[in-house]
Amino acid sequence: MTDTVSGGLTRRGLLAAFAATAITAAPTYSNAAGFLRGGGDIRRIKMYSGRTGERIDMIYWIEGDYIKDAVKEIHHFMRDWRTNDVKSIDLRTIDIMAAAHNMMDVSEPYMLLSGYRSPKTNAMLRSRSSGVAKNSLHLKGQAADLRLNSRSVNQIARAAAACKAGGVGRYSGSNFVHMDCGPVRSWGR
């Protein structure tokens, strides 16, 4: 099986071209609540990883349907970079991330610090920090730790909390926000 389509385009290139076209016609959403209820026509995620050097900027949902190839790329992007293990990321987490990003009205991509964590990685991080949960939602592919240079931890956390769709942790000392699709709750400062 090959990843190219006729004309020499890669599947990724084809998705990127489609995304660029769709973005120009995309409506602007005024709040995340409507976005999460299906009030919009598209959902887009923009991230980069300082650890792997990878970037994604893609539409992953159009008019009520997730785009299978785009979601698969997000799963791969959010893998445990230490072990290279890939796990399906809960779509609710991706939706919360996208909605919060949209509410902040920024063009800058998130910096992904941690998405999926393998049991080995989580155990190693727990041995180094008391702030890592034994049964972290990262182990289930239901959490992400994110940063934006153009927004404060408090601004990012307020946007995520406004989604009222999961947990939001503020880690001001380490300059990141934890977002997950677990029970609605918040912690940190």
DSSP secondary structure code for residue 183 in this structure: S
Q: What is the pLDDT of residues 97-144, one digit of tens each?
A: 999 999 999 999 999 999 999 999 999 988 888 778 888 999 999 999
Q: Which residue has the tokens 């893998």?
A: 79
pLDDT band at 40 (very low <50, low <70, confident <90, very high): low
Cβ neighbours around 42 below 10 Å, total: 19
Q: What is the pLDDT of residues 55-88, one digit of tens each?
A: 999 999 998 899 999 999 999 999 999 999 999 9
Secondary structure (DSSP) of 30-87: S-HHHHHTT-SSEEEEEEE-TTT--EEEEEEEETTEE-HHHHHHHHHHTSBTTTTB--
- Strand order from edge to edge, sheet including 167-171: 65-66, 55-62, 42-48, 110-114, 143-147, 176-180, 167-171, 185-188
Q: What is the pLDDT of residues 10-20, one digit of tens each?
A: 555 444 444 44
Q: What pLDDT is stored for residue 15 in this prediction?
A: 47
Q: pTM of the entire structure? A: 0.79
Q: Which domains are delineated in the chain?
A: 11-188 (3.30.1380.10)
The SS3 of residue 143 is: strand
